[in-house]
Structure 1
Amino acid sequence: MNPTQPILAVTDFSPLARHAAERAARLAHETGAPLTLMHVLSGGALHSLREWLGASHPLAAQLQADAQQQLDHLAADLHAARHVSAHTALASGSVLDEIGQKADELNAALLVLGARGEGFLRRQVLGSTSERLLSRTTRPLLVVRQTPHTAYRRALVALDFSPWSLQALAVARRVAPHAHLVLFNAFQVPFEEKLHFAGVDANTIEHYRQQARTQAVQQVHALAESAGLKASQWEPCIVEGDPSQRMAQQELALDCDLVVLGKHGQSATEDLLLGSVTKHMLAEGSADVLVSTAHAS
């Protein structure tokens, strides 16, 4: 991660949002990147409050003061634990717009959110608002669901061999520089059911299967070589089957604490992030999820 570009951690003060802030602080300490902690008060909720109680009622100001105090306490806790001096940013308005504006203002290298939170974060990570946020951002996004006791140890990096795969690998190395990388690809025999239905014999289909596996193995090794990985830094994980199911299985079987996905891929929509794989990993996986948002130029 570029140490001159800040990390922006967004919090709603829920327990998992605190995990996200702690992970962001750990990354800031490891990389030397500046850290900003942000909380957004819903502009719609504040507007409704002023309508109910009157524009001059002090409660709205008190809510802002309370939120700033919580941000300051969180920053102090992170400084004591991680020796990182975090800036704080309090905003009100459209949550997505405010996050995007602050990320642009900072030129943030990474956005960090909790996997599930209270209020807006829960809806954004698991609901349609999340999809809009993730599809809108041009920056890597880290969704944290684990308590960050240590630096990332093993990262499962999903590769589909699109132009985004090499960039996803580069982002994984910046966010988890000390992790052992598991380069994952799930292959399938194209139109296997239709081949059976058309009467193609089993031996021919098995030949296609072995051909698909061999091609995947070759492409994974080629990507590792292009990324300059040493043999001790990575291992291949080539499996057959549905990517969503197989990725979740391998995450658990190989004890990975980070899963890395590319925002765009070779799917019907050319958008892996909004497809079933990422949704499945966010909803069902147990590891943190890092989403890369750019392809290699």
Structure 2
Amino acid sequence: MRELRTILATTDLSALARHAVARAALMAAESGARLCLQHVVSVSAFDAFRHLLDAQSASLEQRLLAEVRDEVETLAGEIGQRYGAKPDVQLGVGSVRGEIGSHADAIDADLVVMGARGAGFVRELLVGSTTERVLRTSSRPLLVVKQVPHETYRRVLLPVDFSPRSVEALALAHAVAPQAEYVLLHAFEVPFEGKLRYAGVEESELANLRVHARRDATAKMNDLVALTGVDAHRVRRLVLHGEATSQILNQEQEQDCDLIVIGKRGVGLLEELLLGSVTQHVLAQSTADVLVIDGSAG
């Protein structure tokens, strides 16, 4: 069974980012993982600041960095006192996305934790926020935190397609939320169902195809649970006919899930180049935290 050894929490010192740091600390305390706290000063903003300095005021640069470090250290102290998971602190200056990726590689982070962008996350997702850019380029699991973490995760929703990624997703969900209940969801549509209906195929025949598809998916779901070794009594299995995004968002609410674990990429060249459309919609529209794993994982 997979374990969390190192968690990297990134922060821009905003209130939303503090939620992400708190969630990372909760997970570190529960799992015993090493917790690392990173803040990156944007090199473009820093260069603009330097441009305003004259020779006599160059010491302001060091004072600024010292002030930022004090703020990060204070946050680390608060987190350590509240959650019992004292984080290592890393302060850098550079490209935010590049620094996060480099530090995640340097410490071999099993999980990167970042904050969403609140009410503006849909807009940020379209124009390219730091979180979204890291999602596109990193192969490491990334947890996007939206909610204030009052407790460890209670119920995790896992959309599955029975690829190796599904095995990885359930194993990672168990590492991130070892005490939770897991809701496995497979949303299916009969291939060419619309064309078959248009061609005059009887609804009873289409219904029969859906029965076979549901039976096949249920068997694969049982095999998936057995393969990962997760306690079957803590797994709820849902095989539902319908479009994936709608079913995921509906079941998030109906099952009262506080975490969704989903793959980054879909199928096909376009979706390998971009975040999968289902993943994008779930990130933008869900209220739960979202853990994104790479499509090639597993």
What is the aligned partner in structure 2 of residue 246 from structure 1?
A: 247
2: CA distance between counterparts of 1:127 and 1:76?
Answer: 34
Asked whether 1:45 is paired with 2:48, we answer no
Cα deviations by residue, 1:185-241 (Å, 9 ceiling, x for unpaired): 110121222112222222221122222222221111111111123331101011121
Per-residue deviation, 1:117 = 6.6
State, as a whole percentage, how many aligned pairs show the same letter: 44
Alignment of 1:110-259 (within 5 A): 110-116=111-117, 127-129=127-129, 130-259=131-260
1: CA distance between counterparts of 2:38 and 2:136?
Answer: 20
Per-residue deviation, 1:72 = 0.7
1: CA distance between counterparts of 2:190 and 2:197?
Answer: 11
TM-score, normalising length from structure 2? 0.91
Does the 8 A contact of 1:154 with 1:255 survive in 2? yes
Change (3 A) 1:162 1:222: same
Equivalent residue letter for 2:291: L
Change (3 A) 1:172 1:116: same
Does the 8 A contact of 1:25 with 1:84 survive in 2? yes
Per-residue deviation, 1:114 = 0.7
Equivalent residue letter for 1:32: G
1: CA distance between counterparts of 2:156 and 2:132?
Answer: 23
Task: Select between 13-22 and 196-205 the one with higher mean Cα deviation.
Answer: 196-205
2: CA distance between counterparts of 1:277 and 1:249?
Answer: 13
Per-residue deviation, 1:294 = 6.1
Q: Where does structure 2 lack aligned partners over 5 or more consecutive residues?
A: none
The residue matched to 1:205 in structure 2 has which SS? Answer: helix
Change (3 A) 1:117 1:53: farther
2: CA distance between counterparts of 1:122 and 1:95?
Answer: 20
Change (3 A) 1:267 1:286: farther
The residue matched to 2:152 in structure 1 has which SS? Answer: coil
What is the aligned partner in structure 1 of residue 7 from structure 2?
A: 7
What count of residue pairs does the alignment treat as equivalent?
Answer: 295
Change (3 A) 1:13 1:136: same
Task: Select between 155-164 and 124-133 the one with higher mean Cα deviation.
Answer: 124-133
Does the 8 A contact of 1:156 with 1:183 survive in 2? yes
Equivalent residue letter for 2:252: E
Q: Where does structure 1 lack aligned partners over 5 or more consecutive residues?
A: none
The residue matched to 1:111 in structure 2 has which SS? Answer: strand
What is the aligned partner in structure 1 of residue 32 from structure 2?
A: 32
Per-residue deviation, 1:110 = 0.7
2: CA distance between counterparts of 1:273 and 1:155?
Answer: 25
1: CA distance between counterparts of 2:199 and 2:50?
Answer: 67
Change (3 A) 1:144 1:252: same
Cα deviations by residue, 1:39-58 (Å, 9 ceiling, x for unpaired): 11110111122223347544
Per-residue deviation, 1:270 = 5.6
Does the 8 A contact of 2:184 with 2:237 survive in 1? yes
Change (3 A) 1:256 1:279: same
TM-score, normalising length from structure 1? 0.91
Equivalent residue letter for 1:23: R
Equivalent residue letter for 2:40: V
RMSD: 2.5
1: CA distance between counterparts of 2:213 and 2:221?
Answer: 12
